Amino acid sequence: MLMQELMDRLGHPSFRELHSWSIAHPGDFWSEAWDDLGIVGDKGSLITRGSGFEGTQWFPEASLNIVETLLAGDPEAEVLVSLAEDLPRRSFTRAELRAEVAACHQALVASGIKPGDRVACWMPHVHETVILALGALSLGAIVSTASPDFGPAALIDRFSQIAPTFLLAAARARYGGKEFDLGPGLLEVLPQLPTVIQVVTVGETSAGLEWDAWLAPHRDADFQPHRYPFDHPGFILFSSGTTGKPKCIVHSAAGVLLKVLSEQGYHLDVNLGDRMLYATTCGWMMWNWLLCGLGRGATVVLLDGSPGYPDLGHMWRVASAEKLSFLGVSAALIDTWRRMSLRPGADHPVGKLRTIASTGSPLAPGGYDWIAEHVSPDIAVASIAGGTDLCGCLVLGVATEEVPRGEIQGPALGLDVTVFRSDGSRAEVGEDGELVCVTPFPTVPLRFWGDEDGFRRRAAYFDRFPDVWAHGDYARTTKRGGFEILGRLDATLNSKGVRIGTAEVYRVVLTIAGIREALAVAQPHDNDTRIVLFVVTRDGLTEDMISSIRSRLRSQASPRHVPALVVEAPDVPRTRSGKMTELVVADIVGGRKERDTSSLANPEALEWFREWASTATS
């Protein structure tokens, strides 16, 4: 176990002591991590230059290309598997993947793509997307991806800001057994991206050159990645703000690699020969996170399509067939499996599985119980939290400690993650406050695209507490040294002056029979606010259910958690990664201007809330 090796080498008998050392000596820690994690390249002798979140430059003398690390190792080992609803299984050895990446690199050069150019993808979660990303990174281009469930307007909002010169797009996509023709959407998008000089499509369209034909002239190219400084930009990720178009977050490729490998290697015990799958799309930062698994010597398994097609047991059949050791999913999917009474441990041989990671929203205690009872009590449940802004985790699993039910185990190595009161002082254990990080880390965004003076980046992260990363989550620490994430700060509830995290409400409400989903928001009312709880039920909301909601919240949480209104809704809005979106419903119910909704998988769900808000008077 890599974390145990580091503890032994440095003489720290516990993770907590190791973590204290890592935040007291962050330069030494990240230098050790570079070596431990097998980063290929010249590290240089200087680890940092400058100070503070906005002044620190990491590894200023380094020269590397992350693709060398991602593709280092046994050429005959299977390293990439691509699975999709409508396609046969495709597998690549490391030698085969290197050859495809080399061809892609040379094809990009022949297409006129240069270092620093933006290479955009509108693609499913398939091997062509990985090959294009690795080829572009090996050249020094900047990669930005979006999934097919983004419509043309959302795609234009994102890609038009970064002026891409290359676009890879799928001719069609398949989800839940249905096929979607993306050709018309592509023709709608392209006129709005006038900087694109080359369009390549997977599948035939009238818009560009087909993938295999584009690569064919370069199949014998040598693998020759270019090396760049540590802070050379490699990824642009998008994060929807409260107003305007999504933020275009520019990340260092090397920073993302080092940070993610430290999470996978130290915290989640991903090692050479492991087989890992994360249920994601190319529109979520977990795609970038999964891509880095190649750097741990793991076989990365891509699974495109609906996790519930043809039925909810599909992913467990994949886990068994592919002999997964690591499975990552959203907390929402785990809760769906739990509510549908799946018993994968009895139905599918998953004896190789060691870790189930969960993110996207807080994992309720019942999710831990379900995994222990119906998958295996020996599986480590790693609830993780971070996000697009750092392309990684602030808090996550701790491989050397037992998993406590219902909480995230600890802070990431090298990051002094804690909870602040509103005045900037550290909150006590169990006291609710704002999740922050006090120490700089390698994936602090380089900048926002187009934010030349840094104003927007500063306002997003550092205006709340000077030179402290304010993440925007409402959280508290636990007696064990773990964390509970209570919801987004601007989605928290205010009940008679007391702030309440929505997760505290959901933990209670979702234990009541017949309730499938719950969404709580604060609504201005009588010069104060009141809590409105929307629920999605199986067979209709009854007075007994409302009574149970109120009595259980009163007894299991507090009287302040009891909603003023309990209302049945037909559905709740969710992002494409499965995360429930409270903020836009809060806008609607509160009579405010609605924020960007382009990341929603089901924006039609909002119409019911608009109608309800227009008629609700009591």
Query: Do 550 and 535 touch, CB atoms closer than 8 A?
Result: no
pLDDT at 242: 43
DSSP 426: B
For the beta carbon of residue 322, count every other beta carbon within 10 angstroms.
19
Tokens of 592: 């405010």
Cα–Cα distances (Å) from 50 to 21, 54, 250, 453, 469, in that order, read: 20, 9, 20, 18, 17
The total number of residues written for the chain in this structure: 618
Q: How far apart are CA 74 and CA 67, in angstroms?
A: 15
Q: How far apart are CA 118 and CA 190, in angstroms?
A: 15
Per-residue burial over 239-258, b if 16 or more Cβ lie within 10 Å, else e, is bbeeeebbbbbbbbbbbbbb
Chunk the chain into consecutive blocks of 10 residues (it has 618) and report each block's average pLDDT, rounded to whole numbers.
96 98 98 98 97 96 98 98 94 98 98 98 98 98 94 89 98 94 94 98 92 97 96 93 76 98 98 97 95 98 94 96 97 90 92 94 88 96 95 97 94 98 95 96 97 93 95 93 85 68 87 94 80 96 96 85 95 87 90 84 94 81
pLDDT at 545: 96
DSSP 352: T
Tokens of 263: 């999470």
Tokens of 89: 């299984």
Q: How far apart are CA 2 and CA 296, in angstroms?
A: 11
pLDDT at 110: 98
Domains of the chain with bracketed CATH: 11-476 (3.40.50.12780), 492-615 (3.30.300.30)
Single-letter residue type at 572: V
At how many degrees (to 10) do helices 127-139 and 94-110 cross? 60
Angle, CA 456 vertex, CA 589 and CA 145 arms, to 5°? 80
Q: What is the dihedral of CA 368, 373, 375, 379, to 10 degrees?
A: 60
Query: Do 210 and 200 touch, CB atoms closer than 8 A?
Result: yes
Contacts of 559 (CB under 8 A, 6+ apart): none
